[in-house]
Structure 1
């Protein structure tokens, strides 16, 4: 199980660094129903990653992801495809970055966060984790790595749990600060929010590129061995 966890740690860290979801939960915490909606957003995030990862484990189990404790060829092809997608996303994100980081603006959908119902807050967390252009490929790649590691199903599930927890640290940090510091957290979270907004495009482009190269390397390694 240890080597499987090692394989997905970098992918989990890539998911954890998600500026806009972090901004979203910070803004939710500042609303009248902040504690409830923030908690439900975090639950939705965890649920989205867990469901997406579990679906990949199921596909890997039925599709023979591991042959003699070696990843099957289709796992290598999948990682190549996901790597190419992330590299393309990196180029697009870099081209769309603002010329001046200080001019970066929040997406329009964030203007309605103060009016979200608890159910919609849960759905938003699920959507931003499982349907995100960065998180979905990385979670699928992590599921493929786990299912092809040649370890028993209980250990696969344990490895997925480790992945989900680490991948959620960025989103779980603001609620933890909010609960620990109360009203004093507003200043700290406000600083986090402003920095995340300003540097979102550059951070995302760099992550897309680096993690895309990692998946490309993994895919080539599997197909060449």
Structure 2
């Protein structure tokens, strides 16, 4: 199990460093029912990652390894495709980064979060976890790696749970600070939000590129074995 954790924890760290979801939960925490909405958002996030990873475990359990114990070719092809996609997204993000970070703008939908119903907040968290252009490929790759490990089902589920927890640290940190400090945390969280907003594009470009190269390398290694 140690080997598969070594493979997926890096991917989990990539998911954890997600500026937009962190900004979103900070905005959610500033709503009138911030505590409830924040917990609801975190629940949606955790469910989204768990569901996407679980789907990959089910798919991978059908044909995850060769007779020699190596991951099946489809796992390598999947990682190769995801790696190419992330590298291309990195190039696109970098080319569209603002010349002046002080002029960086958040997506328009973020301005409406304070008017979201609890259902919309939950669905937003699901989308930002399982439908995010960075998080979804990394979670899919992690699920494929776990399913290809040959571990017993119980160990695979435990590995996925560890992935989800580590991948959620970036999101759960603002929630934890708010739950502990209450209103005193608003200025601190506001500063975190401003920094993330200014550097979101550059951070995402670098993460896309780094993890895209990692998945490319993993895919090539599997297909050439």
What's the TM-score bracket when you normalise by the shorter of the two chains?
over 0.9
Structure 2 match to 1:204: 204
Structure 1 equivalent of residue 129 of structure 2: 129
Residue deviations 1:132-181, cap 9 Å, x none? 00000000000000000111110000000000000011111111000111
Aligned to 2:20: 20
Asked if 1:178 is matched to 2:195, the reply is no
TM-score normalized by the length of structure 2: 0.98
State the TM-score, normalized to the length of structure 1: 0.98
Determine if the alignment matches structure 1 residue 66 to structure 2 residue 49.
no
Q: What does 1:39-50 correspond to in 2, within 5 Å?
A: 39-50=39-50
2:114 is matched with which residue? 114
- Give 2:223's aligned residue: 223
Q: Tell me the residue number matched to 2:156.
A: 156
**Shift of residue 66, structure 1, vs aligned partner:** 1.6
Q: What corresponds to 1:99 in structure 2?
A: 99
Instruction: Note the aligned Cα RMSD (angstroms).
Output: 0.7
| Equivalent-residue separation in structure 2 for 1:75 and 1:106 (angstroms) | 35
**Distance in 2 separating the partners of 1:102 and 1:58:** 45
Looking at structure 2, the residues matched to 93 and 39 of structure 1 have their Cα atoms a distance apart, in angstroms, of 31
1:76 is matched with 76
Are the counterparts in 2 of residues 26 and 189 from structure 1 also a CA contact under 8 Å? Answer: yes
Q: Is the 8 A contact 1:90 1:208 kept in 2?
A: yes
The equivalent residue for 1:2 is: 2
Find the aligned partners of 1:102 and 1:24 in 2 and give their Cα distance.
Answer: 19
Contact 1:37 1:117 in 2 (8 A): no
1:169 matched to 2:185? The reply is no
SS in 1 for 2:61: helix
How far apart are the structure 2 equivalents of 1:76 and 1:65? 10
Corresponding residue SS for 1:70: coil
CA contact (8 A) 1:146 1:160 kept: yes
How many residues are treated as equivalent by the alignment? Answer: 224
Deviation at 1:69, TM superposition (A): 2.4
